[in-house]
Amino acid sequence: MKNKRIVIIDYQMSNLYSVKNALEMLGFNVELTHDKKKLVTADAAILPGVGAFNEAMSSINSLDLISPIKDFIDSGKPFMGICLGLQLLLTESEEFGVSKGLGVIDGVVEHFSKPLPTSIIPHVGWNQITIPASKKTFTNSNFPVSDNSFMYFVHSYYVKPSDPDVVCTQTKYEDLFFCSSILKNNIFACQFHPEKSGTDGLEVLKKYFNT
C-alpha cells in the first residue's frame, strides 16, 4: 500500500531529506514532523539519525517525543530506525559517557575501539549484510533484507542487543561480526543507510513499508 502515510520523526538534528526523497521516489506519502498528533495517526514511522547519542536523546526529550514514539511502537504499526535511530532504541550508549536510550530493545551501544583497538574508525563505506541461520527460516517475500546484499555504513558505534533473537543481520568489520540490523515484531532498525544503498537499499524500504 504505497499510499500509506509515513512520518519521519524530526527531532531537529538529523539529515532527513535523503530518507524522504527515497521514499517519495518509491511512491509513498511522506511527512517530516515532530508533531505528536501526526505521529500517532501515521500508518508507519521512521526514526532516522546522524550525530551524537546523548544530544539526540536530549532533543527527543525536549520535544516530548519519548512517550509518543513508544506508544507508536506499541500500536503494532511498522516502525523503522536508521543508523543513530537504531542505536537510540537500545537501553543505553557509552558515547560521551553513559546515556540512557529509549529502552525499546534491551542492550547497549559500544564504540568499535573496544573490540578493535587498532582498527580504522569510523567504519565507512559499503559492506555486506548476512542473515543469521536462525532467521533464514523466517524469510519470505516481505522480509526486509536480502542475504549477502551490500549496504552503505557510516558509524563509530555499534549495537549489542541482549537477546540474539532480535538480530536480523550481521556484518563483518575487521575481525568483528556486529549486529547491523534488528527485527522485533513491528520494529525493523538498521545501522546501514538504506536510502544511500542503491537498488538493494531502496528494496529494503519498499519491502518493509509494503507489508
Q: How far is 140 from 209, CA to CA, in rounded Å?
A: 15
What positions carry a catalytic annotation? 83, 193, 195
Please give the grid coordinates belonging to residue 168: 536480523
- Quick check: 1 pLDDT over 60? no
Average pLDDT over residues 26-42: 94
Q: Cell numbers for 22, please give them.
A: 527515497
Q: How far apart are CA 106 and CA 124, in angstroms?
A: 26
pLDDT of residue 210: 87
CB environment 136-147: b (16+ within 10 A), e (fewer): eeeeeeebbbee
Q: Is the whole-model pTM more than 0.75?
A: yes
Best CA proximity match to 81, nearest among 210, 186, 154, 196: 186
pLDDT confidence band for 211 (50 / 70 / 90):
low
Mean per-residue pLDDT, 7-22: 88
DSSP letters spanning 150-195: EEEEEESEEEEES-GGGEEEEEEETTEEEEEEEEETTEEEESS-GG
Q: Classify residue 119 by its DSSP letter.
A: S
Confidence of residue 141 (pLDDT cuts 50, 70, 90): low
CATH for 105? 3.40.50.880
DSSP label at 210? T
φ and ψ at 31, to 5 degrees?
Answer: -140, 135
Q: What is the extent of the structural domain holding 50?
A: 5-209
Structure-model confidence comparison of residues 2 and 209, the more confident one:
209
Number of domains the chain contains: 1
State yes or no: pLDDT of 117 exceeds 80.
yes
Ramachandran angles phi, psi of 126, nearest 5°:
-85, 135
Residue range 97-120: mean pLDDT, rounded: 96
